[in-house]
Amino acid sequence: MNELFYAVALTLIPKVGPVTARNLLSYTGSAEGVFRSSRRALNKIPGIGPQISNYILSSDALNLAEAELRHMERHSIQAVFCLDPDYPARLKHYPDSPLVLFFKGNADLNPANSVSIIGTRKPSPQGLAFCEELIFGLNAYAPTIISGMAYGIDICAHRAALRMGFPTIGILAHGLEHLYPAAHKATADRMLEGGALLTEYPFSTMPEKEHFPLRNRIVAALCDALVVVETGVEGGSMITVQFANDYNKDVFAAPGRARDPHAAGCNLLIKTHRAGLLESAQDLIDALNWEQPHQKKVIQQQLFVELSAEEKKLVDLLRQKEEAGMDLLSVQTAMAPSQLAAMLLDLEFKGVVKSLPGKRFALISA
């Protein structure tokens, strides 16, 4: 068995998290060495003690690791160990970085430029528009866009990246057998073509509440800069900012109006100097001092895309209404909700339609 096998097994031992695992590696020399060590040798390692030694020696971790590797092969899942050269360099030097990362897709985990974009699950139309404009404004640099696959700003960032042809990585708080929320499966599938879904959790791990704050540290660590588009004063975005501040990452927040609950968290971050003020993509480019690459040519997809007769009917309807909800669109197009939802998602990927809060949709201006 190779070192990855033993590293995966190490992640499956109760009470052995990333910090403890790295401690074990430093004393035994390798993941395999942990399992080859005697009880006496393990007990001598600072911070281990009889309980963890017993877990290591008596657990079924090696058998579970064999099953995990079978899942990986069956589902085209890759894994990278923290001592491997392909492990994300931006992440590996933090003491709480995952021992093993599991991922699906084709993303470069060490891209030249990367930006994490996060925010509320219930953004305003202005917040969604800013998120899209920010990503479109980074066109010349084609950074990898990182977020957490959640409703709201997260999924807006992933979809805008797809429209621009940027790699985008979704950081999951569960194993790759699942997708939470399931409503984002079509987007997730598209992300695999040039990006990835990535997690520290074994294949069958369910999306438990306590996993989400821990997931946020990976969102914070993998980027050159963290951007908060909209957030309240509490919640997951503020946790991610704290991780990013602790990791000495550049953090930026989009300002908003006073007393606007969507902007309260961003305004607080700027006011307390935990984030820089961000008003445009150029602010981010200047702050990070990215080198100017050759300008990537972007075709305005909505000008050239070929539409089916039903898609044209839907687009014409949205042009008349400016924006409309699913119920109205379903009635006026005489489409079943499932068929309509699939068509709207396809139009999003084509850069013709954008989703708004409350299951409403509008055309993207040419």
- Provide, rounded to the nearest whole percent, the portion of the chain with pLDDT above 70: 95
pLDDT number for residue 12: 95
pLDDT number for residue 332: 86
Domain at 114-288: CATH code? 3.40.50.450
pLDDT, tens digit (0-9, with 9 covering 90-100), for 198-244:
999 999 999 999 999 999 999 999 999 999 999 999 989 999 999 99
| Three state DSSP letters for the chain | CCHHHHHHHHHCCCCCCHHHHHHHHHHHCCHHHHHHCCHHHHHCCCCCHHHHHHHHHHCCHHHHHHHHHHHHHHCCCEEEECCCCCCCHHHHCCCCCCCEEEEEECCCCCCCCEEEEECCCCCCHHHHHHHHHHHHCCCCCCCEEEECCCCCHHHHHHHHHHHHCCCEEEECCCCCCCCCCHHHHHHHHHHCCCCEEEECCCCCCCCCCCHHHHHHHHHHHCCCEEEECCCCCCCHHHHHHHHHHHCCCEEEECCCCCCCCCCHHHHHHHHCCCCEECCCHHHHHHHHCCCCCCCCCCCCHHHHCCCCHHHHHHHHHHHHHCEEEHHHHHHHHCCCHHHHHHHHHHHHHCCCEEEECCCEEEECCC
42-54: average pLDDT: 92
CB count, 10 Å around CB of 105?
Answer: 21
pLDDT number for residue 52: 93
Confidence category of residue 327, pLDDT binned at 50, 70, 90: confident
pLDDT score of 32 more than 90: yes
Confidence category of residue 361, pLDDT binned at 50, 70, 90: confident
2-23: average pLDDT: 93
Instruction: Decide if 3-105 and 114-288 have a common fold.
Output: no
Query: What integer best gives the mean pLDDT of the chain?
Result: 91
Across 31-40, 73-82, 351-360, least confident range: 351-360
281-307: average pLDDT: 68
Residue 64 contacts by C-beta under 8 Å, 6 or more apart in sequence?
9, 12, 202
CB count, 10 Å around CB of 28?
Answer: 17
Domain ranges in the chain are 3-105, 114-288, 301-363
pLDDT number for residue 304: 44
Domain at 3-105: CATH code? 1.10.150.20
pLDDT, tens digit (0-9, with 9 covering 90-100), for 105-162:
999 999 999 999 999 999 999 999 999 999 999 999 999 999 999 999 999 999 999 9
pLDDT number for residue 299: 37
pLDDT, tens digit (0-9, with 9 covering 90-100), for 247-285:
999 999 999 999 899 999 999 999 999 999 999 999 999
pLDDT score of 42 more than 70: yes
pLDDT, tens digit (0-9, with 9 covering 90-100), for 332-355:
888 888 788 878 877 876 678 887
Domain at 301-363: CATH code? 1.10.10.10
pLDDT number for residue 301: 41
pLDDT score of 300 more than 90: no
- Provide, rounded to the nearest whole percent, the portion of the chain with pLDDT above 90: 72
Confidence category of residue 70, pLDDT binned at 50, 70, 90: very high
Across 160-174, 191-205, 293-307, least confident range: 293-307
This prediction's pTM: 0.82
pLDDT score of 290 more than 60: yes
